[in-house]
Structure 1
Amino acid sequence: MRAVVCSVAVGLVAQAALALEPFSVRDIRVEGLQRVEAGTIFASLPVRVGDTYTDDKAAASIRALFGLGLFKDVRIEAANGVLVVIVEERPTIADVDFVGAKEFDKDVLKKALREIGLTDGRPFDKALVDRAEQELKRQYINKSMYAAEVVTTVTPIERNRVNVSFSVTEGDTAKISAIKIVGNTAFSESTLRGLFDSDTGSWLSWYTKSNRYSRTKLNADIETLRSYYLARGYLEFKVDSTQVAISPNKQDIEITINITEGDRFVVSGIKLVGNYLGKEDEFQSLITIKAGEAYNATEVAQTTKAFTDYFGNFGFAFARAEARTDIDRTTNRVAVTLVADPSRRVYVRRINLAGNDRTRDEVIRREFRQLEAAWYDGEKIRQSRNRVDRLGYFTNVGIETQEVSGSPDQVDLNVTVAEKPTGSISLGAGLSSADGLGLSFGFKQENAFGSGNSLGMEVNTSKANRTIVFSTTNPYFTEDGVSRAIDVYQRTSRPYDDVDTYAIETTGAAIRFGVPFTDSDTVYLGIGADRTRIIPGTLLPTVYQDFANEFGYSSTALPLSIGWSRDTRDSALVPSTGKVIRASGEWSVGGDLRYARGTAQYQQYFPISRKVTAAFSSDISLGAGTNGLSYPVFKNYYSGGLGSVRGFEQGSLTTAAQRAGGLTATGGTKKITFNGELLAPLPGGGNDRTLRVYGFVDAGGIYGADESIQLADMRSSFGVGISWISPVGPLRLAFARPITKFDGDKIQGIQFQIGTTF
């Protein structure tokens, strides 16, 4: 007869009801197994055949088996020297399903539960299910869906299995109904609320989600509020409390922020204390704090950072700089003492790269100006980081300094990048009553095969201009950073739909080298060859017939090119400050044609406020024949449309002579364009810089070889537009109306351009 030695309920280990004298274990037998292998039991038991049985070992055995998480009941019995382990397995999860979950994708939810052990084929654990249910509720709360309810249903099925179903009643999203700031006197409540990304909603809230409560977003808004006061002299500003109240129906949220502004303090003086390497004058020039003005915490932080950065230029990677304040509350003045300690000088042992799964290491390393085994140089490290970022291959580039254990004079630089898609497809279109819809298509891979080289193709299917261009660029054709670009193109211009009309066909190729002189300045040198053919037909303009009479219907050119560019913008997609300057020239030295042409472009961005940016750009282009020959008409400049004067059809502007003779637009030898824009976040869009509205004024003109540039001959337009860095790529939409126009001008009131990444 068996004696029950130990019986354990789930989660508890009980002592033997009937204590037995220790005995030698002759055999061990397992009963109740369905899916679990017997070897799993034997491997977990602390008792082996031949061991001496004790009650302590039995208790330890039960604890070990419950620790596997596979059983909901375990018993141990003894009979004639045989230990019998009796188990009851937990049910196995056959399926996990979600009902009513619309806010989240089911596959994403299943993956999240799989990570915590709740998935098909795993043992069912009620505690794990409860944890999953609470996690689902938390995820809904993070999306301001406080009314969401989750009910778990466990359905037993055959072969000791269960189906687990989470039934979700999502309810409506809770909205912020009010944001109150209590205690403010220096600034109006509307001004302070305007600093927040959170708001009570607008017509665009469906996109911005700005009226959805988020604790993280509220904390960021409070820090913005704190920075606003500290930057205006309120040195003792503090947030006393923040209350978030939700309505009984869990649909409305009211936020109340209680603040104490304190007094406004003025800087009475600034002094330096510490070791400044004998370069006090240089450090003095870095101070942006001004005596006699309100204490500005932002300027203080900028100054201390500038100090540590400047120390870094001399190899002091661990320099410390802090600002100490001596407050005089009787006069509301504060003295600022800048204390600096350069610490020790170090050099860089290694530069380690991480995150570049596709991009080759050499593509990143060749942008570095900080070298391994060289003294640490903060300025070179910043230049290196910016150069890697400007490649455009990564969404984020970070560099961290890590001390080398046991070597106080050495550091490693850990470079972490997050790659982004570098292929792009661009689409462009224009809509006019005369010619309908014209489309353009472009494909480009900026980082082909992770090599840093680019491959591209452009196609234009408009009625007037059909283009196909293949291009490739190697940014490091030489180890010194000289780039090489190759273009092969074929362009056909057929202004009319009639199959018998004339056409201009240009086929050519060019190679260009870019020589970097500084980190922001590059000079370009190139040579090309092209062949242009005038295909005779009806409606051939006189200027083309005159050209054919001089050079023939087919002509060749061998142009040399030179250019220079400088780009100091803070962002390529949404710039708010900086400028772009470009100058380029072309001179044909061989073939049938002799000419020279050049273009100068200038763009400047001015931050009007934290949200509003003003932009100005200008473009002047000139061309002329050389060696006593006429300027080739098909090298003319064109104006009108996106990139020049919006509101007019692309390339449709005519010269004074063309208008006087009732001729179509065949371009001119001179072009001038001016553009002004004022950009701001879309009303209701908060501070989202990826979605902006802009107003613009454009002016431009096109002029023939015998015409002087006259402002009276310029067209102009005004309008509004939307700029959106959308999920499918950058988009610009413009609605334009002419201010100055001439009879026969082709008006195009709606124009847009969009690109997508893959």
Structure 2
Amino acid sequence: MPFPLALTSLRPVPAYVALVAAATVATSAQAVEPFKISDIRIEGLQRGDPGSVFGALPFRIGDEYNDDKGAAALRALFATGLFKDVRVDIEGQVVVVVVEERSVIASVNFIGLREFDKDTLAKALKENGISEGQPYDKAVIDRAEQEIKRQYLTRSLYGAEVVTTATPIERNRVNITFTVVEGDVAKIKDIRIEGAKAFSESTLLDLMDLTTGGWLSWYTKSDRYSRAKLNADLEKIRAYYLNKGYLEFDVKTTQVTISPDKQEISILIGIEEGQPYTVTGVKLEGQYLGREEDFKQRITITPGEPYRGDEVTATTRAFSDLYGTYGYAFARIEPRQDIDRKTGQVVIVLQGSPGQRVNVRRVNIAGNTITRDEVLRREFRQFESAWYDSAKIKLSRDRVERLGYFEEVTVDTQEVPGSPDQVDLVLNVKEKQTGSLQLAAGYSTAGLSFSGSIKKENVFGTGNYLGLEVNTSKLSRNLVVSTVDPYFTDDGVSRALDLYYRTSKPLNSQGDAYQLATPGAAVRFGVPFTEYDTVFFGVGLEQTIIGTSSGVPNSYFKFVETFGNHALSVPLTVGWAREERDNPLTPTKGRYQRLNLDFSVAGDVHYARLNAQYQQYFSITNKLTLGVNGEVGAGYGLNGKPYPVFKNFYGGGLGSVRVFESGSFGGVDLTGAYDGGSKKMNLNSELYFPVPGSGNDKSLRIFAFADAGNVWRDHDGAVTQDDRDRGQTGTLSDLRASVGLGLSWISPVGPLKLSYGTPMRSFRGDKIQRFQFQVGTAF
């Protein structure tokens, strides 16, 4: 007769299991005498591996069995979390382990999703232990429902309901289906601020990203409540008051209420302004390494002016950076305000504590699953076994971020246990896709266009670029194969190789039978002279082929008469660029400068072509940005040969002077074709401000513009009256000008600009095009 020893549990390893097991063993102690195990049998398994049971048992065949080992076996099997019931039976000298497996989740499905992608919710559930292959438990499913609802709360869907259906299938498995009724989005009905006296409520509301909605709310989603967004807005209001001298400003209350139907949200913010304070002095206390004068030069706080929180923050950050350049990674700067409420004055005391000087033991890299370590390490300016330098670390992070291969780049400083004078740096990156395959067709002011490209900016994780581009439009067609090795040498000299075949025709050309074709190849090297300056050197070989069918402009025909249909040139390139903008796509401050010289002294055509550009951006306010741009170009024939017409500059349109048709500046051929000129000038200014209703979003902005410029051709003789009428005298009096408004959008396919304006200065024969748009352009 078998003697049962059994325990049952609905949860793995609760505390009472061990107590019940011990009690059961005690009650069976007189019935089960120790014996030598002749066999072990497992019963009840439907899906699991017997090895998982045998591996948990504290005994084997041939071991002596007793009550303590039986109790230990039960505890061990329950601890696996695989079973909801376990029993140990004894049949003679055979130990029979009877198990009842917990159900396992076979699949997780969703019904009714609109706001979320299925993969997004599945990932959130997996992080909470709910996924295929995990044990099924009602408590776990309840937790899953709460997690799904929490995800919907982040999207202001407060009425979302979740119903879970568990369908048993063979082998003790369960299919889980979450049926979601999302409901409507809860929108902010009103936001009120109480206690504001120094500034109007509308001024403070304008600082917030959360709004009561507008005509662009479908795009910005600013009328959807989020606790994180509200906290960020409160900090903006706090910073605003601190920058106006209200040192004791405080947010007293924040009330968020939702309507009974969960469709409308009201926000009430209660504030206490306090009184404004004026700074009367700044004192330094603590240890400043005997370099007090160096630190004082970093102070941006101005005595006699109202207290400004951003100036205090900027000063403490500057102090911390200066400490860091001397190797003090954990320096502390604590600002203290000695205030006099009667006079409304404050003295700012900066308490400095450098801590211990440290060096960098090791630089570790994490998160790069594709990009090779060397691609990141070669951008690092902080070396291992060198003194910690915060300026070099920041520069290193910026250089890695500018590679464009990563969504996020951070550098963490970690103390080395047992070595207070050493730290490790961890460069954390989150990679993004750097390859693209694009096929597109569109219509712009240059006519119908088609384009296709295959690009890879980080080929095999090497940091090299490889691209194939095909573009075609009414006036031009391009086929370009290019590759760039940014570290052709260990010193950071880059090398670019281009193979291309381009065809083009001037605007207003007659007939479609002819074209200007330019096959060629070029190699360029970029030498970094500083962290911001790069000098370029290059050489190319290209051939110009001009068809002689009907419709060829007279200027092109003259070139053929001089050089023939096929002209060979060997252009050399020397250039310089300096990039200091805070963001190349949506800059708000900084400058960009470049200078480029192309010249050819070998082959059939000899020429020099100079181009220079200067851009400057000014952040007027948090929402207003002013950008100015200037560009000049000039081309000359060398060694007594004329300047080749196919190297002419063209102007008009976006990137030049808006409102005038693209390619319409310069000379007009006898056939009516606009064939450009050898000199050009562009002057542009843009004032950016947010789209009403878009909050502080900078990816979509309105701008007002004012442009001026022209392209001049060379004169064979004296300036004629026709040249004056057409604005081709070669002087600044020929400048065209325009003003207008535009829309700038960082779209999924690239920067998009639309503009509408009116000419302020034009000449006879100018082609006016008030509305213009283009993808992938600046100014």
Shorter-chain TM-score above 0.5: yes
Kindly indicate whether residue 246 of structure 2 is the aligned counterpart of residue 234 of structure 1: yes
SS of match in other structure, 1:413: strand
Structure 1 pair 443–637 and aligned structure 2 pair: CA distance change class (3 A): farther
**Corresponding residue for 2:724?**
none
Assess, with a 3 A threshold, how the Cα gap between structure 1 residues 501 and 69 changes in structure 2: closer, same or farther. closer
1:705 aligns with 2:714: yes
Q: 1:205 aligns with which of 217, 227, 232?
A: 217
Alpha carbons 2:338, 2:346 under 8 Å: kept: yes
Match of 2:739 in 1: 718
Contact 2:705 2:740 in 1 (8 A): yes
| SS of aligned partner of 2:245 | coil
Per-residue deviation, 1:665: 0.5
One-letter identity of the residue aligned with 1:19: T
1:19 aligns with 2:27: yes
Pairing 1:431–2:452 present: no
Q: Deviations over 1:611-634 (max 9, x none)?
A: 121111111111122333322211
2:718 match: none
Q: 1:498–1:652: structure 2 CA closer, same or farther, 3 Å change rule?
A: closer
Q: Distance between the aligned counterparts of 1:156 and 1:363, measured in 2?
A: 51
Deviates more, 1:543-552 or 1:153-162: 153-162
Give the aligned partner of residue 562 of structure 2: 550
Q: Secondary structure at the match of 1:177?
A: strand
SS in 1 for 2:252: strand
Pairing partner for 2:680 from 671, 678, 682? 671
Cα 1:311/1:92, change in 2 over 3 Å: closer
Q: 1:390 to 1:62 in 2, by over 3 A?
A: closer
SS in structure 2 of the partner of residue 523 of structure 1: strand
Distance 1:460 1:735, change over 3 A: farther
The alpha-carbon deviation at position 667 of structure 1 amounts to 0.8
**Following TM superposition, by how much is the alpha carbon of 1:666 offset from its aligned partner in structure 2, in angstroms?**
0.6
Amino acid at match of 1:723: S
Preserved CA contact (<8 Å) 1:569 1:579: yes
User: In structure 2, what is the Cα distance between the partners aligned to 1:514 and 1:17?
Assistant: 81
Residues 61/228 of structure 1: CA separation in 2 closer, same or farther (3 Å cut): same
Letter of the 1:460 counterpart: N
When residues 230 and 490 of structure 1 are mapped into structure 2, their CA distance, relative to the original with a 3 A threshold, is: same
Cα distance in structure 1, aligned partners of 2:94 and 2:558? 114
**Aligned residue in 2 for 1:694:** 703
* Larger CA deviation: 513-522 vs 3-12: 3-12
The match for 1:188 among 200, 223, 230 is 200
Corresponding residue number in structure 2 for 1:251: 263
Look up the SS of the partner of 1:675 in the other structure: strand
Sort the Cα spacing of 1:543 and 1:254 in 2 relative to 1 into closer, same or farther, 3 A.
Answer: same
Decide whether aligned partners of structure 1 residues 94 and 663 sit closer, same or farther in structure 2, where only a CA change above 3 A counts: closer
Q: Distance in 2 between matches of 1:353 and 1:226?
A: 37
Instruction: Please say which of residues 698-707 and 90-99 is displaced more in the overlay.
Output: 90-99
The equivalent residue for 2:753 is: 732
| Aligned: 1:394 with 2:442 | no
- 1:559–1:271: structure 2 CA closer, same or farther, 3 Å change rule? same
Q: Is the 8 A contact 1:25 1:81 kept in 2?
A: no
Q: Per-residue deviation at 1:243? A: 1.2
Structure 1: which amino acid aligns with 2:228? T
> Residues 321-720 of structure 1: matches in 2 within 5 Å?
321-423=333-435, 430-432=443-445, 436-441=447-452, 443-495=454-506, 501-655=513-667, 658=668, 663-706=672-715, 708-720=729-741
**Match for residue 154 of structure 2 among 138, 142, 149:** 142
Deviation at 1:525, TM superposition (A): 2.5
SS of alignment partner, residue 222 of structure 1? helix
1:24 aligns to what SS in structure 2? coil
Question: Are the structure 2 counterparts of residues 74 and 420 from structure 1 closer, same or farther at C-alpha, using a change threshold of 3 Å?
Answer: closer
CA distance in structure 1 between the partners assigned to 2:515 and 2:28 by the alignment: 108
Question: In the aligned structure 2, how far is the partner of 1:727 from the partner of 1:412?
Answer: 38
Structure 1 CA distance, aligned partners of 2:435 and 2:59?
63
Distance 1:252 1:701, change over 3 A: same
Question: Does structure 2 conserve the Cα–Cα contact (< 8 Å) formed by 1:5 and 1:18?
Answer: no
Q: Is the 8 A contact 1:76 1:83 kept in 2?
A: yes
Number of aligned positions between the proteins: 750
**Other structure's SS at 1:152 match:** strand
What amino acid does structure 2 have at the position aligned with 1:668? G
Partner Cα separation in structure 1 for residue 620 and residue 768 of structure 2: 32
The superposition leaves residues 422-480 of structure 1 with CA deviations (integer Å, 9 ceiling, x where unpaired) of 33567685535xx7423455554333332223233443312322222333332222222
In the alignment, structure 1 segments of 5+ residues that lack a partner are none
- For 2:379, the aligned partner's letter is E
* 1:164 partnered with 2:176: yes
Structure-2 change in CA distance of 1:569 and 1:425 (3 Å): farther
Q: Distance in 2 between matches of 1:513 and 1:62?
A: 72
The 2-side partners of 1:482 and 1:415 are apart by 24
Secondary structure of the structure 1 residue equivalent to 2:676: coil
Deviates more, 1:703-712 or 1:242-251: 703-712
Q: 1:144, 1:174 within 8 Å by CA — same for their partners in 2?
A: yes
Give deviations 1:704-745, integer Å, cap 9, x for gaps.
113543344333333333322234443333345444444544
Going from structure 1 to structure 2, the CA distance change for 1:77 and 1:596 (only over 3 Å counts) comes to closer
Change beyond 3 A, Cα 1:275–1:32 = closer
Cα distance in 2 for residues equivalent to 1:302 and 1:500: 62
Q: 1:708 to 1:273 in 2, by over 3 A?
A: farther
Encode CA deviations 1:520-551: one digit per residue, 9 max, x unaligned.
Answer: 12222233333223221213322223333333
Equivalent-residue separation in structure 2 for 1:156 and 1:569 (angstroms):
60
Q: 2:106 matched to 1:106?
A: no
- Over the aligned positions, Cα root-mean-square deviation in angstroms equals 3.0
Q: Is the 8 A contact 2:533 2:577 kept in 1?
A: yes
Quick one: which amino acid aligns to residue 616 of structure 2?
A: Q
> What does residue 721 of structure 2 align with?
none
Distance (Å, rounded) in 1 between the aligned partners of 2:535 and 2:7:
85
The residue type equivalent to 1:325 in the other structure is Q
More displaced, 436-445 or 352-361? 436-445
**Aligned-pair distance for 1:750?**
4.5
Greater Cα shift, 214-223 or 549-558: 549-558
- 2:509–2:671 contact (8 Å) kept in structure 1: no
Cα distance in 1, alignment partners of residues 269 and 544 from structure 2: 71
* Structure 2 letter corresponding to 1:304: T
Q: Give, in whole Å, the separation in 2 of the partners of 1:29 and 1:501.
A: 90
- The 1-side partners of 2:396 and 2:150 are apart by 42
**1:418 match: secondary structure:** strand
The alpha carbon displacement at 1:40 in A equals: 4.2
Choose which of 234, 246, 250 in structure 2 pairs with 1:222. Answer: 234
Distance 1:517 1:729, change over 3 A: same
Q: Distance in 2 between matches of 1:400 and 1:68?
A: 37
SS in 2 for 1:385: helix
The one-letter code of the counterpart of 1:705 is D
CA distance in 2, matches of 1:486, 1:43: 62
Residue by residue, what CA displacement relative to the aligned partner does 1:116-152 show, whole Å, maximum 9, x if unpaired? 4444455431121111122122222222111111122
- In 1: Cα distance, 2:352 partner to 2:26 partner: 75
Distance 1:482 1:310 in 2: 31
SS of 1:666's equivalent in the other structure is strand
**Uncovered stretches (5+) of structure 2, i.e. residues with no partner:** 716-727
- The Cα shift of 1:94 comes to 4.2
CA pair 705-253 structure 1, distance change in 2 beyond 3 A: same
Aligned counterparts of 1:680 and 1:81: Cα–Cα separation in 2: 87
- In structure 1, distance between residues paired with 2:550 and 2:531: 52
Partner letter of residue 755 of structure 2? Answer: A
